[in-house]
Amino acid sequence: MANTQSLRSRWRAWQDAGVTVLAILATLIVIAPLAAVFGYLLYKGASSLNLDFFIRIPKPEGESGGGMANAIVGSGVLLALASLIGVPIGIGGGIFLAEFGRGTKLANAVRFTADVLNGVPSIVMGLAVYSLIVSAHSSLIPFSGHFSAFSGGVALGIMMIPTVCRTTEEMLLMVPHAVREAALGLGLPNWRSVLSITVKTASPGIITGCMLAFARVAGETAPLIFTAFGNAFMNTNLNQPIEALPLQIWVFAISPYDDQHRLAWAGALVLIALIVLAVSLVRYVTSRGVLKGAS
């Protein structure tokens, strides 16, 4: 009997060791592509990154040189418009969920829908905006009937709303009740208390939530393919097609020219650098705590 017992415990010990090895292996296999993507990106991108990249527009096919200045400016325009649409409405939704609707069925439904909406593919948003603005022929809708920077900004903006709403709600929930009660006890109207006291207390967290949404839509390509459409020249006019950094990377990557491939790698490096910066900033601010920023 002692023999089968020791056999069984040896088998269990082997199982334990085997699973530990498998778990470590899984971790290494996951980290490897991350290291590979970043390393290759740095290697390929850094060698093609120079000042020309930031100040010149792309040259015609086959010619070397040129840069992606129009894509960077275009991305800036699109993201500004998207933030103008996404941030106020998203923060408003978050304020409703945290302050007025806490615990109600309506708030639960809104929260659930926002989470589901976060998972909808971005190309579907682009199709909806195409159908609403680009292919419409009514005078009610501004800039309708053709590809435009406005439609691209709207597509990115409605992608930002659910993300900003959820992160704002989570940050507002962290504000202690004592702060709200103190404000109301001083005789402040409810709207003043929410805006000037509660939101201001949670503002570092809310800003980082907006930054996260910003970083996410900065890298989106699919909704822009048939809304903003792309433009080989510098453009800041909302009524015309506009280039964006991820869109330009996509177009250059599938082209047959080596020069454009090099520019695509440099563009990808710039995009990744911006996103890593945003994510690191978010982590730094949230690790310091929501309330430390208030005092």
Partner 1 sequence: MPVEVKVPEIRTPHLREHQPPTRQEKTVTDPGKEGPSPVRIFLLSRGNSAMADRAFRWLMTLCAFSIFGIVGLIAWRLIVSSQLTWSEFGLGFFFKSYVDPVNHQPMYWDPVNGYFSAVPFIYGTLVSSFLSLLIAVPLGVGLAIFLTEMCPRALRGPLAFLTELLAAIPSIVYGLWAFFVLVPLLREHVNPVLVSLLGWTGFFEGDNPTGLGFLAGGVILAIMILPIISSLTREVMIAVPHSQREAVLALGATRWEMIRVGVLRNARIGIVGGIILGLGRALGETMAVTMVIGNASEIHKSLLANGNSMASVIASEFSEAVSDLHRSALIEIGLALFLVTIIVNALAQVLVWAVTRGAPAQAR
Work out how close the CB of 167 gets to partner 1 at its nearest, in angstroms, rounded to a whole number: 10
Rounded CA-CA distance 35/31 in Å is 6
Q: What number of helices (H) and strands (E) belong to the chain? A: 13, 0
Rounded CA-CA distance 167/215 in Å is 14
What would the two tokens of residue 256 be? 């047959």
Question: Could you say which of 42, 69, 89, 184 contacts partner 1 (CB under 8 A)?
Answer: 89
Rounded CA-CA distance 144/17 in Å is 64
For partner 1, the closer of residues 78 and 268 by Cβ is 268
Residues between 223 and 282 with contacts to partner 1, criterion CB under 8 A: 225-226, 229, 246, 249-250, 253-254, 261, 264-265, 268, 271-272, 275-276, 279
Question: Could you say which of 58, 74, 93, 241 contacts partner 1 (CB under 8 A)?
Answer: 93
Work out how close the CB of 28 gets to partner 1 at its nearest, in angstroms, rounded to a whole number: 10
Work out how close the CB of 62 gets to partner 1 at its nearest, in angstroms, rounded to a whole number: 20
DSSP, res 42: H
- 45 burial level (CB within 10 Å; 0-12, 13-18, 19+): buried
Rounded CA-CA distance 273/284 in Å is 16
Cα angle 277-238-153, degrees, rounded to a multiple of 5:
45
Contact between 78 and partner 1 by CB under 8 A: the answer reads no
Residues between 96 and 155 with contacts to partner 1, criterion CB under 8 A: 96-97, 99-101, 106-107, 109-125, 127-128, 131-132, 135
Question: Could you say which of 27, 50, 236, 239 contacts partner 1 (CB under 8 A)?
Answer: 27
Work out how close the CB of 162 gets to partner 1 at its nearest, in angstroms, rounded to a whole number: 6
Residues between 175 and 204 with contacts to partner 1, criterion CB under 8 A: 187, 189-192, 194-195
Cα atoms in the Cβ-side hemisphere of radius 13 Å centred on 211: 19
Contact between 205 and partner 1 by CB under 8 A: the answer reads no
Question: Could you say which of 222, 242, 263, 266 contacts partner 1 (CB under 8 A)?
Answer: 222
Question: Could you say which of 42, 141, 173, 234 contacts partner 1 (CB under 8 A)?
Answer: 173
Rounded CA-CA distance 79/98 in Å is 27
Work out how close the CB of 78 gets to partner 1 at its nearest, in angstroms, rounded to a whole number: 14
Element (H, E) at 142: none
